[in-house]
Amino acid sequence: MSGSNDPSALRWLIGVELTTYRKQVGLSLTELSVETGISKPKLGHMESGRYQQQPDDLANVLRACGTDQRGIDRLTSLSARSDSKSWWAPWAHVVPDWLKTFVGLEGLAYSEFVYEPLVLPGMMQTAEYAEALTQATGFVRQNHTERFVSFRLARARRLTETADLRVQVVVGESALRLAVASPEVRRAQYERLLGLAEHPRVTLQILTPECGPHDAGSTGQFCVLHFAEARPIAYTELLDGAVYVQDPDDVRTYTLAAESLQRVALDPDESFAYVKALASDE
């Protein structure tokens, strides 16, 4: 996606790929250093994404890990894109680092699955709804609330106006019925959801208790991001931080949970009718 790549997210994603390849062949950083002639500290920085990885160094490391030419070309091509600027730069002082990484990765992805059992996804919130939620959490300083809300809105606009991202969202009934602000604010929020549900790149499904059990019954909020040039990752937020799930087997578990949710939840047409009924009731 032209103009949407976050360099720190790109470096991080490339580093994850390098770490996965190295571990798959059972090499330590010391052993890889001997194989490649690249110092151990530099290899560590390449895997952490601290500095931009150079295509020649990437190819050297990947060959030492037995990677085929397709995999080498894929990652070296990805590294060539890492000189783009971050779209979130105007909000850098109010957005935590863990969230900067996520929205950067989101800008690189071609599809995203989101499960939110208790709170509506930030990318789908109206300004008034987002402000009410932000003020209620206490994690954002009062003088930063307006800026943080504007960041959420900018991210939301990218979903419908500039990004190529396809988003599949499953929202729990509790999130829809959360008593946020006034009935007028909630009605406007429902109308926002209805508008997004009609967007060609957005699929919205509602999960009610009547839908029955599913594979994500013991989890909270999570996302799965899919990339054209890297393996998928899963992401889940904590109270004031986040966990990035990188191991392919663990990511597969989240992917299966996402597929279970999509099977069990109301289909898109039923979900649209459900939200429309809520809007009428406010």
pLDDT in tens, 121-144: 988 999 899 888 877 765 545 545
Residue 190, number of CB atoms within 10 A of its CB: 22
pLDDT in tens, 59-109: 999 999 999 999 999 998 888 775 555 677 778 777 788 788 888 898 889
Domain limits, CATH 1.10.260.40, in the chain: 7-79
Share of the chain above pLDDT 70, in %: 90
The CATH class given to the 7-79 domain equals mainly alpha
Please state, in angstroms and rounded to a whole number, the distance separating the CA atoms of residues 226 and 110. Answer: 6
What tokens were used for 198? 């009609």
Range of lowest pLDDT (6-20, 80-94, 232-246): 80-94
Domain limits, CATH 3.30.870.10, in the chain: 96-124+162-281
What tokens were used for 23? 């571990």
Please state, in angstroms and rounded to a whole number, the distance separating the CA atoms of residues 7 and 65. Answer: 25
Q: Taking a C-beta distance cutoff of 8 angstroms, is the pair 230, 222 a contact? A: no
- In this prediction, residues 12-33 reach a mean pLDDT of 95
The CATH class given to the 96-124+162-281 domain equals alpha beta
Whether pLDDT at 271 is above 80: yes
Pairing of strands 222-226, 233-238: antiparallel
Q: What is the mean pLDDT of the chain?
A: 88
Closest CA to 282 of 123, 129, 88: 129
- In this prediction, residues 101-119 reach a mean pLDDT of 91
